[in-house]
Amino acid sequence: MAELFAGMRGAVLDDNGPLHFGSPHREQRELVAGRALAILGDRAVLTITGPDRLTWLDSITSQAVASLRPGESTELLILDPQGHVEHAASVVDDGATTWLIVDRDRAAELLAWLTRMRFRLRVDPQDAGSSHRVIGGTAEAAAAVDAVARWVDPWPNVAPGGWGYAAADPHPGAERDWVEAIVDADQYASLAAAAARGESPVTGRWAADALRIAAWRPRAASEADGRTLPHEVDWLRTAVHLDKGCYRGQETVAKVHNLGHPPRRLIALQLDGSDDVLPEPGAEVLADGEPVGAVTSVARHYEEGPIALALVKRTLAEDAVLTVRTDDGDVAASAETIVPPDAGRTAAVPRLPRLSRRR
């Protein structure tokens, strides 16, 4: 359905839809103000029906969802046996169907795994990506759309059973107002037609991603590189319940949190924008000329300028002088600690849990 936006003025698209419509900074301001909706073509939708769906998900994922109420939002992780993040899903249940918003490029793999894990339980996971699309924006903006389900981002609140590593007060994402609405094909086409007429402003996903990075919010498509532990990116905050029953990878999650420290840690970077050079995800982060990590997400923020998230080795000094390697030379970067070097139960201070906002 990306072609629905192809004819719009300034539209720059890839295979997953619009990246921007000619003015990424203006689009960010419109999103924050609630005057526009983001077209999130890199998201896909899975559905799970059947009376056992919530207890089944509870048993195989990192989050406690067995008692999830209709309209309540949460998120979960699928971990490998060593506790590395394989998949992440935004979750909302409407009382009959559990809706999962996932990364499009990993959706088929996740669906295949869920299908294999059904056993004899009364669950039916399905791909709804061909019939439904995802758009995002503030709660007010998303409420104006005829959606089949709305997921309210819990970040950066510490969910019941979760744990926050980032010590920033206030957290950069404290004012984050973000909802992702699942709409059917007809509503999606209507939104595209209204946008083309100038009646319903929309943005590409570059704008949404810049706001995410500024809020220190991890995504599987960016921060999960095959060996990422939830602790490394502060994902215990919203996606892991530390006191629930066993699930794949749970032993590693508990051991790292209770007895050790994650081997890497997420930092936020403010990049030197004087040369107008922006590194690519995967670019090396250097300290004294030696590689110490890699950029995971990067954007130009409408207020903060060039910003990035990066995973670096745990032992990197918090006051280290950093640069980021690009094809045009190294770019100076100042770092802000997200996950501290001594992160773990003995060092981190848990925040008081707050109830998830409801639809």
* Confidence class for position 85, pLDDT limits 50, 70, 90: very high
Instruction: Write phi, then psi, for 305 (nearest 5 degrees).
Output: 80, -150
Sign of CA dihedral 21, 22, 24, 29: negative
CA distance 192 to 206: 18
> Which residue in 60, 69, 124, 67 sits closest to 89, CA to CA?
60
Q: In percent, how much of the chain has pLDDT > 70?
A: 95
Q: Go through the chain and tell me how many residues it has.
A: 359
Residue 182: Cβ-neighbour burial (10 angstroms; 0-12, 13-18, 19+):
buried
- 182 — phi, psi (to 5°)? -95, 120
Segment 4-58, tens digit of pLDDT:
888 898 999 999 999 999 999 999 999 999 999 999 999 999 999 999 999 999 9
User: pLDDT tens across 90-115, in order?
Assistant: 999 999 999 999 999 999 999 999 99
Q: Residue 358's pLDDT is what? A: 36
Structure token pair of residue 53: 């769906």
Question: What angle do the packed helices 24-33 and 205-214 form, to 10 degrees?
Answer: 70
**CA 197/CA 102 separation, integer angstroms:** 30
Binned at pLDDT 50, 70 and 90, residue 351 comes out as very low
Give me the domains of the chain, ranges plus CATH numbers: 2-223 (3.30.1360.120), 264-348 (2.40.30.110)
Please state, in angstroms and rounded to a whole number, the distance separating the CA atoms of residues 79 and 304.
33
Contacts of 281 (CB under 8 A, 6+ apart): 222, 295, 296, 297, 298
For 139-176, the pLDDT digits (tens) are 999 999 999 999 999 999 999 999 999 989 999 999 99
Sheet holding 97-103, edge to edge: 73-79, 85-93, 97-103, 43-49, 124-127
Q: Which residue matches tokens 């996740």? A: 110
Reported as a single tens digit per residue, the pLDDT across 33-47 is 999 999 999 999 999
Q: Are strands 202-203 and 37-39 parallel, antiparallel or unpaired?
A: parallel
Nearest to 81 by CA among 223, 232, 251, 239: 251
Residue 113 is encoded by which pair of tokens?
A: 């795994």
Encoded tokens for 45: 């939708």
The per-residue pLDDT for 359 is: 33
Interval 213-256: pLDDT, tens: 999 999 999 999 999 999 999 999 999 999 998 999 999 999 99
